[in-house]
Structure 1
Amino acid sequence: MSADAPVTEMPDVLRAALECADDGIVIVDDARRITHFNAGAERIWKFARADVLGHDAAILTLKCLQADPVADFRDEISLVRCDGSRIKVQIALSSVTTGGALHHIVFARDVTADAERRVRIGLLNTVSDQTNRAVIISDVEQNIVYVNSAFTTLFGYSSGEAEGRRAGDLIAGCHTDRKAIARVIERLMRGGRRGEAEVLVYDKSGQEIWVCARIDAFRDKKGRVKHFFALLEDITETKQLRSLQQLIMSALADEVPIAEIADRLCRRVEEIAPDVVCSLLHIDAAGLVHPLGGPSLPEDYSRALDGLAIGPNVGSCGTAAFYGEPVLATDLDTDPRWQPYKTMPLAIGLRACWSTPVKAKDGRVIATFAFYYREPRAPSNWHRRIVEACVDLGAFAIERKEARAEIARLAYHDILTGLPNRAQLRHLITTAIDACPTGGHVALAFLDVDHFKDVNDTLGHAAGDELLVQLAQRLREQIGPEDMLGRLGGDEFVVLLPHRNAQDAERVAAGITEALAAPLRLGSKLMPMSASIGISLYPDHATDIDTLMQQADAAMYMAKQAGRSTHRMFSAEMNGLAEQRLAMIAALRRAIADNALSLFYQPQVRSCDRAIHGVEALARWHDAALGDVSPAKFIPLAEECGLIEQIGLWSVREACRQMAIWRRAGLNIPSVSVNLSPLNFRNVALAARLKDILAEHALPPDALMLEITEGTFMQDGAAALETMHAIRELGVGLSVDDFGTGYSSLSRLAHLPIRELKIDRSFMRDIDKDAAALAIATAVVRVGQGLRLTVVAEGVETEGQRKMLTELGCDVVQGFLYAPALAPVAFERWLIEHCAEQARAMLGRLDVNPAGRDAVKRSA
């Protein structure tokens, strides 16, 4: 066709070609009439060509064909078709002149599907960029074709830097588990389902990042893999570091030894930081190093460290422990602090060491946590984050184990003297008897201090404690290396003499009596001291432990009857002592039946304002024939003969009766504490009995506090715990008495329904000047605070002790500082005087404010 030929006269072949085109083609003459409308145009506009040919082009609703058509135009528009539907159309307009006439040719293509796809892709990109997980899309050769903004944030590579590079070359490193990723890729290529792997990868600066990579494949309609899709989640904090915490906590819950915990911790750290060798060293109170964990270090290297003293130039760990600050040696070969110690680590390929001190809550360095490296270098950010977590975890584990070890020691040792206690003595006696050869002997000596009660009554309990400590020291000096000394409690001691016959035992007893003849110095006073000693012999007198101990006790009683400061060997005639014991039991039964026991009350005072917190009810017994019988005597006797449960219930009834009297009289005493035996808690009806007693005296449940020992929930735990829960549901308080003198699980204590924790009076000795006593008291107070319990300290005798306890955060104090246990009338007088003293103190503080003082007086 020539350029001047009219369009209407185009050759048939050209017309056929236009008809077959996929695009819509429309020709409009210079009068804006439609002269050509092909099949593609019919599909796009939904017009039949007969309805448009010869008609004005306005029918096509194209702005580009309006009054002054643009010669060349290209755009994507939204087209409304004749049936009202709307599609996206790409329009191209060209103008040609033929035969002197201007014609406009419109090319139209339906791009609705493409437009929708672009919208979806845009939305997906927006969503992808909004997620905090990194997205990588690669081809089958693992060349990156797309990354989202989270990838850029996490790894530091822009999309331009990442696209076109292999993912493995971009973020994998020397410690990346490439095999784990390859296994997932291979499974996908074989048609398997998506998979995931936890791997260590590296950002643009070379810093380590642990990620969980979830990998899937995009396939075409024939199932062939076209692209790989990887979703990377940073699990450095959420999983890897948390796994260290879970490891420590589960190990502590399982009572795993501290060395095994340290070993597990080091192994786990080396898994998540493969380029380090991990070590945990314990620093004892003397500043000596002891390896705890270091599974990748040779045993001879760890042994060489054991017992090494810390110092200012003792490698990385010794120096870090000495100064309490992290120490980095980037090159052991040249670092001056390592010169005396470098040979062995260099020989095993360790070139650098970074050590961080592990500190207890009081600031003591108790361990060091170290990373060794196989090349001279400094720690990465990832390594620093690991150490931050491990230092806290290590401190928690070591302090927890130290506390538990101390509690375990206290379970078998007397807190005052450090000697084996009753429980440990039974084990020692059993061992000695089992090891006794045929024809051999084991002697047992019971020792009771003469007139010890007089020391406590005249000089106070602190002086009495000091006497017992000095006595224990003198006794140690009088026994042989195979002999064993223990304390039963109070002023009663036991000397176990393996391989000793009667004559040997009596020589030891005589030596003890002579050694005690010299007075002890208690402060500025010289205190005369003596003891009564009773001896029994295995197998001559008995073949079982209980009888042997009873016989030694009977012989000791006979020594006292003989005038004290002497010893007696058990004999058959001493069986009369058993008769006396039976007589005392009978008298105790009568006293219970005749209501001859009484309760004395010792005040408990709040540390913060010295207001009355409550009172503790303590049983007393005066017998017409026996006189005043010490609770230390009749309470154990009641336990042995089965009367202790009756005494416990009587004490509750009597204490509630007295509380009701005081409340009716207007005395404000918040609560009364009553000691109960573990036997009481075996009674499933105990809560019901308490409810009846409280109702009888019209007292609210919180007016009563029951004191229990650790043995209550250690023995018959399930039954006792059920009873304890029933009591707490009733509203009655529960207090753990003498805490720390027994052996209980701290994790179990945390789940007991208790409201109060009492520090045993033995912990009060020298608390204001002895670091060990203060540390123990501090630990008990912290346990109470951590469990949100009221902490009560018993045996407080000095203002210095009270101030120290107040600074520790102890809530309540009880002891001779305020008052001994008093009869009800005497306690009432004390309470009135105490309240008056508090009022005077308040008025004194208000002297600077006369108006306030007058207001107080008027209100009084």
Structure 2
Amino acid sequence: MSASDCVVTEIPDVLRAALECADDGIVIVDAAHRITHFNGAAERIWKLARSEVLGRDAGILALKCLHADAAPDFRGEISLVRRDGSRIKALVSMSPATVGGTAHRIVFARDVTADAERRVRIGLLHAVSDQTNRAVIITDVEQNIVYVNSSFTTLFGYSSDQAEGRRAGELIAGCHTDRNAVAKLVRRLMAGGPRGEIETLVYNKHGEEIWVSARIDAFRDKKGRVRHIFALLEDITETKQLRSLQQLIMSALADEVPITDIADRLCRRVEEIAPDVVCSLLHVDAAGLVHPLGGPSLPEDYSRALDGIAIGPDVGSCGTAAFYGEPVLAEDLDTDPRWQPYKTRPLEVGLRACWSTPIKAKDGRVIATFAFYFREPRAPSNWHRRIVDACVDLGAFAIERKEARAEIARLAYHDILTGLPNRAQLRHLITTAIDACPTGSHVALAFLDVDHFKDVNDTLGHAAGDELLIQLAQRLREHIGPEDMLGRLGGDEFVILLPKRNAQDAERVASGITEALAAPLRLGSKLMPMSASIGISLYPDHATDIDTLMQQADAAMYMAKQAGRSTHRIFSVEMNGLAEQRLALIAALRKAIAEGALSLSYQPQIRSCDGAIHGVEALARWHDAVLGDVSPAKFIPLAEECGLIEQIGLWSVREACRQMASWRRAGLNIPSVSVNLSPINFRNVTLAARLKDILAEHDLPPDALMLEITEGAFMQDSVAALETMNAIRELGVGLSVDDFGTGYSSLSRLAHLPIRELKIDRSFMRDIEKDVGALAIATAVVRVGQGLGMTVVAEGVETEGQRRTLAELGCDVVQGFLYAPALAPVALERWLIEHCAEQARAMLGRFDVAAGREAVKRSA
């Protein structure tokens, strides 16, 4: 009979006793909704005494299932609020019953609060387990899986239904899993030992490798017996295994480990985390040849055989990958056509497949290949691809870093322009040659300096100068022996080291070089004449230490220049004194500039048409208390050599402007002063601004200043120099081309430059009256000046005949000893007064002559 059909006529004592002993609370409610029975378990659940509820309305129990409109059958878990305000979870079921023909309802209630709380905790544990990014596995003592979380499913691809009931080892372990380590740890746990961690390679549902860190522990009962085994698995493929490759490379680079050792370490580490591969790293040089860097598990004879092989479209996997710049896979070396010439040795050692990936530099060059060899015909897995992705970047970084360091080391010891050994490397080479010099033998050192190199820079620009040095270096290489060494000290200075050569041998080499340089060099469309001065010193005859030997070769070279250039000299003891004199002269010049010991003298410039003063040229003079008067022909070139010429030029402008202002305040009418500047001054973009400040300081108009420049200053391709000249012309300061006709002038360029004046060089004055060539050049310069609207000034005019000739040509202005040498300011003032008086007397004389002629006409 079912509970819904049971009829209760009366409750026997035995049954009543049984109801009292029941664990469930039992409540009987009659048709009038009154409680007729309330057992002891019900008292405990509701915390109400039966005397308080029997005969009372069932509403006191706060059960919705007892409402009149509730379903007759009910079963469910409800939240029950008791008399004291506490709340419990109760499992309640209700069934209808008939007693004495009257309908009753019987309520069964059980306190399930503890079970509900347990279920909540389990649910929370499940939620937390599913939220972690670590895979959770729980097995029984037989290692059969009883639970996995969602992260396990994500990592390995098995759902909980697919995993539960299977042995963990069968599910995720593989050929390279460290089963012994896992088994040892489980045995230790079963014996009561502590938990442990291991790192091992496991496999997902698709057979892909995953490196995990596994933390394994046991769940025990109250008696300490193992009931379940718990494993927490963390994927360390990226965070630890791949990062370990990065740490390996970085630490090796920081420790300056050779690139071959870095490559070897990298290959070994890769083979640890990918046990089914054999790793190889090949370098590809600039010529397209491969060179083994790392491959510790490959046979040595095979690696040696690869050295020097040229990359190509059918050169195994690595040569082909390097050639095309794309990964190349040969799944079976035995049948792959690209491997036929190279397959024998790999197949002998059990290597059946090869996958190679090119390593590229930042500029796209293939600089290496990274290869995986497999012991069975196959393609790489995703794990292999992830390793290669990391290693390609790391390999590129390591190789480029080493290339950069090698280049830095090369630059530290080689000249950037010519590629020759520089000063630092030359010292090492000289030391080595001296140490290896046999007794009774010599080492010759030749210093070579290009003659007039500054003129090339000034005339054709620095780009042409650099090209000249490059070609010179090539020509010098062709005319020295295979054991001789060529280096560049800097600028236009070269050194030739001649091991085991005596003085006669060194002179033969120097003479051969002089002859070789006689043929001009081609710079663009121009043929440039070339020569050099060479100085030679000998070890051990002249010196036994490097510094002295180099100083002596330098002194001999300077004497070769003094001897007329394009020649050589061997060091002699007398040269030391000359070199010392030169150094002393440089030191004295520096001191003179610093202490204001230089002065300016002024040579007048006279207009041809009327003899009036056109202006003066300021010329630097130096009188030293010890050296006496030092000629400008001596100290101006010296200033250019030692970098003082720009200072002298700016000082000359300031001093000339100061003197002009003084003269004007004194009432002397000198229209302008000309100052010579070096081309170096015009490369300074601030020159125009400095001139403006100097003129303003002395309250002079811009046309009171004329700057004289050589042809080289405007013929060079320096944009800065041209911009500076334009800025000066816009300022109103005049520009005069000094020594016009002696350089490499371009008339087309001259027509477009802000030049106001041309000066005929004094070298043409000497024979202008009788030398047709000199007269023709002077005539041409005057015509060019007239055609371009420029004033033409002739320098070095010493005779009346020269003056007349120039006047007949139409030359505007003359200067020279015919009128006056360069004079000190006071002397110039006296000369100017006398010249003005002479001009006045001449003018009166002309008036008297003219008046006499007029009187004769009237009397006639």
- Taking structure 1 as the reference length, the TM-score comes to 0.69
The amino acid that maps onto 1:582 is A
1:818 aligns with 719
Structure 1 residue 347 displacement after superposition: 0.7
Whether 1:246 and 2:247 are equivalent positions in the alignment is: yes
In the other structure, the counterpart of 1:505 is: 506
Tell me what 2:393 maps to: 392
Hey, what's the Cα distance between the residues in 1 that align with 2:207 and 2:292? 32
> For the Cα contact (< 8 Å) 2:468–2:523, is it kept in 1?
yes
SS of residue paired to 2:464:
helix
Change (3 A) 1:263 1:152: same
Counterpart residue number, 1:292: 293
CA separation of 1:514 and 1:664: change in aligned 2, threshold 3 A: closer
The match for 2:438 is: 437
Q: Select 2:635's aligned residue among 614, 626, 634.
A: 626
For the residues of structure 1 that align with 2:220 and 2:598, how far apart are their CA atoms?
94
Q: Which residue does 1:579 correspond to in 2?
A: 581
Distance of 1:663 and 1:17 partners within structure 2? 125
Q: Which moved more, 1:391-400 or 1:483-492?
A: 391-400
The one-letter code sitting in structure 2 at the alignment partner of 1:275 is D
Question: Where do residues 373-772 of structure 1 align in structure 2 (5 Å cutoff)?
Answer: 373-576=374-577, 577-594=579-596, 624=632, 625-629=634-638, 633-634=642-643
**2:848 maps to which residue?**
none
Within a 5 Å distance, the mapping from 1:183-222 to structure 2 comes to 184-186=185-187, 188-189=189-190, 194-222=195-223
Partner of 1:342: 343
Find the counterpart in structure 2 of residue 363 from structure 1.
364
Indicate the residue corresponding to 2:111 in structure 1. 110
Distance 1:596 1:165, change over 3 A: farther
Q: Which moved more, 1:152-161 or 1:219-228?
A: 219-228
| Separation in structure 2 between the aligned mates of residue 102 and residue 177 of structure 1, nearest angstrom | 72
**Is residue 9 from structure 1 mapped to residue 18 from structure 2 by the alignment?**
no
Letter of the 1:81 partner, please give it: R
Cα 1:817–1:127 change in 2 (3 A) is farther
Distance 1:489 1:508 in 2: 22
Preserved contact between residue 692 and residue 731 of structure 2 (Cα < 8 Å): no
3-state SS, counterpart of residue 255 of structure 1: coil
How far the C-alpha of 1:333 sits from its partner, in A, is 0.9
Give unmatched runs, 5+ long, in structure 2.
1-5, 600-621, 623-629, 648-679, 697-713, 734-860
**What amino acid sits opposite 1:532 in the alignment?**
S
Counterpart of 1:233 in structure 2 is 234
Check whether the contact 1:554–1:578 (CA below 8 A) recurs between aligned residues.
Answer: no
- What corresponds to 1:685 in structure 2? none
Equivalent in the alignment of 1:673: none
Which residue number in structure 2 is paired with residue 282 of structure 1? 283
Q: Deviations over 1:102-140 (max 9, x none)?
A: 554332211011111212222232233233332222233
Residue 5 of structure 1, CA deviation: 7.8
Contact 1:266 1:280 in 2 (8 A): yes
CA distance in structure 2 between the aligned counterparts of 1:357 and 1:223, rounded to whole angstroms? 58
Between stretches 136-145 and 303-312, larger displacement belongs to 136-145
State the partner residue of 1:811.
Answer: none
TM-aligned CA deviation for residue 303 of structure 1: 0.8
Instruction: Output the amino acid matched with 1:633.
Output: C
Give the deviation of 1:264 after TM superposition.
Answer: 2.3
- Secondary structure of 1:90's aligned partner: strand
Instruction: Name the SS for the 2:720 alignment partner.
Output: coil
Using a 3 Å threshold, how does the CA distance of structure 1 residues 319 and 596 change in structure 2: closer, same or farther?
farther
Quote the RMSD (CA, aligned, Å): 3.5
**1:661 to partner: Cα distance:** 6.2
Instruction: Work out the CA distance in 2 between the residues paired with 1:481 and 1:830.
Output: 58
The alpha carbon displacement at 1:569 in A equals 1.5
For residues 644 and 250 of structure 2, the distance between their equivalents in structure 1, rounded to whole angstroms, comes to 41
Evaluate the alpha carbon distance shift between residue 826 and residue 200 of structure 1 in structure 2; reply closer, same or farther with a 3 A threshold. same
Shift of 1:304: 0.9
Cross-structure match for 2:258: 257
Quick one: structure 1 residues 165 and 632, their matched pair in 2 at CA, closer, same or farther if it must change by over 3 Å?
Answer: farther
1: CA distance, partners of 2:71 / 2:520: 126
Distance between the aligned counterparts of 2:89 and 2:335, measured in 1? 74
**Alignment CA distance shift 1:530-1:825 (3 Å):** closer
Deviation of 1:825 after TM superposition, in Å, equals 7.5
Q: Any conservation in 1 of the 2:8–2:97 contact (CA below 8 Å)?
A: no
Equivalent residue runs for 1:311-350 within 5 Å: 311-350=312-351
Q: Secondary structure at the match of 2:75?
A: strand
The residue type equivalent to 2:720 in the other structure is A
Q: Distance in 2 between matches of 1:549 and 1:591?
A: 29
1:601-624 Cα distance to aligned partner (Å, 9 max, x none): xxxxxxxxxxxxxxxxxxxx9994
Q: Which amino acid aligns with 2:483?
A: E
Counterpart CA distance in 1 for 2:159 and 2:692 is 79
CA distance in 2, matches of 1:298, 1:374: 14
Cα deviations across residues 84-113 of structure 1 (Å, max 9, x unaligned)? 221110113344556656554332211011
Q: Contact 1:432–1:442 at 8 Å: present in 2 too?
A: yes
Shift of 1:261: 2.3
Equivalent-residue separation in structure 1 for 2:405 and 2:240 (angstroms): 29
Counterpart code for 1:380: S
Distance 1:663 1:370, change over 3 A: farther
- Alpha-carbon contact 1:137-1:145 (below 8 Å) kept: yes
- 2 CA distance for matches of 1:631 and 1:112? 104
Give the partner amino acid of 2:207: G
* Aligned partners of 1:290 and 1:306 also within 8 Å: yes
Counterpart in the other structure of 1:137: 138
For 1:523 and 1:433, how far apart are their aligned partners in 2?
41
Name 1:756's counterpart in structure 2: none
Q: Between Structure 1 and Structure 2, whose CA radius of gyration is higher?
A: 2
CA separation in 1, counterparts of 2:353 and 2:554?
66
Letter paired with 2:13: M
CA distance in 1, matches of 2:116, 2:731: 90
Return the alpha-carbon distance in structure 1 between the equivalents of residues 638 and 228 of structure 2: 92
1:389-418 C-alpha deviation (Å, 9 max, x unpaired): 222222232223222222211111112222
The corresponding residue for 1:809 is none
Task: Check 1:656–1:409 CA distance in 2 against 1; reply closer, same or farther (3 A cut).
Answer: closer
Distance 1:155 1:36, change over 3 A: same
CA change 1:832–1:108 in 2 (3 A) is farther
Bigger CA drift: 260-269 or 489-498? 260-269
Kindly tell me: are residues 301 and 623 of structure 1, through their superposed partners in 2, closer, same or farther at Cα, counting changes over 3 Å?
A: farther
Q: 1:429 to 1:244 in 2, by over 3 A?
A: same
For 1:465-495, what per-residue CA distance to the aligned partner results, in whole angstroms no more than 9, with x for missing partners? 2322232233223322222111111111111
Q: TM-score, normalised by structure 2?
A: 0.69
CA distance in 2, matches of 1:457, 1:129: 80
Aligned to 1:163: 164
Q: Which amino acid aligns with 1:236?
A: T
CA contact (8 A) 1:623 1:629 kept: no
Letter in 2 for 1:579: Q
Structure 1: any 5+ residue segments left out of the alignment?
598-620, 639-650, 668-796, 799-814, 834-860
AA in 1 matched with 2:68: A
Mapped partners of 1:664, 1:474: distance in 2: 49
Counterpart contact for 2:444–2:498, Cα < 8 Å: yes
SS at match of 1:819: helix
Residue number in structure 2 paired with 1:683: none
State the alpha-carbon separation in 2 of the partners of residues 285 and 5 from structure 1. Answer: 106
State, as a whole percentage, how many aligned pairs show the same letter: 78
Contact 1:8 1:35 in 2 (8 A): no
Distance 1:664 1:480 in 2: 58
Find the residue that maps to 1:312 and give its secondary structure: coil
Give the drift of 1:459: 2.8
Q: Determine if contact 1:358/1:395 at 8 Å carries over to the other structure.
A: yes
Report the CA distance shift for 1:483/1:217 in structure 2 as closer, same or farther (over 3 A).
same
